[in-house]
Amino acid sequence: MDAREKILEAAAELLAEAPVADVSTRAVCEAAGVGAPMLYRLFGDKAGLLAAVVDRGFERYLASKRAARPGDDPVADLKSGWDNHMRFALEHPNHYRLMYSPELTAPPAAAREAHDLLHGILERCAAAGRLTVPPVLATRIVMSANVGAALSMLTRPEQYPDAQFSDRLRDAVLDSLTRPAEGAAPVPENPVPVAAATLAARLRADVPPAFTPAESALLQQWLGKLTES
């Protein structure tokens, strides 16, 4: 293993156990068994080292996306890309948090490539007449929503207990940006969840005086179940 790989390996191991701010270049050099001049010659500074660690960690994820063959339905590919992004984030939380850490003064190559790959899919959606906004804007919206959801679930898991949260957000975002293929039958809307959510919100704002606190809580529980149906 050459010096570069030793440094990257040591940095990745340290970052798996401690926040970015607590990992110094000195600690990385000691763990890798190299001198500081070697680290700075190879990576420039701590930000450069962190960016290289991110790129190394994301290589397998990006390789799978590069190798993916476009399907017949670009919107389906878009949904699959969202799910793959979320799966990687949840399976590799340390690398993912590092990728979007404020410690990185410049975005790593992995972030730029992920953005470009997403933009390519959205260009296909536009070419197929399925996109309702320009691809550049759609790329920003989808990436922001996907990254925001992943970071929220990683940093505040107790606030996101719903296993279907990512799917719900994905569908809400993509449905607002795309339209059905020509000739596709419209999907019938189930009015019950919408009605239940509306009634629950109105009852929370104006609790009926005829209900006891226990009755109001039970009604909210029932309406919540209907909202999720």
**What CATH number does residue 38 fall under?**
1.10.10
Give the per-residue pLDDT at 25: 92
Strand partners, 178: 131
Give the per-residue pLDDT at 189: 61
Confidence of residue 157 (pLDDT cuts 50, 70, 90): very high
- Highest mean pLDDT among 11-20, 143-152, 173-182 belongs to 143-152
pTM, two decimal places: 0.73
Containing structural domain, residue 106: 58-177
**Under 8 Å between Cβ of 6 and 32:** yes
**Under 8 Å between Cβ of 118 and 139:** yes
Give the per-residue pLDDT at 101: 79
Would you say residue 186 has pLDDT above 60?
no
* In-domain check, residue 75: yes
User: Residues 168, 74: one domain?
Assistant: yes
Confidence of residue 184 (pLDDT cuts 50, 70, 90): low
Confidence of residue 145 (pLDDT cuts 50, 70, 90): very high
Number of separate domains in the chain: 3
DSSP state letter for 178: B
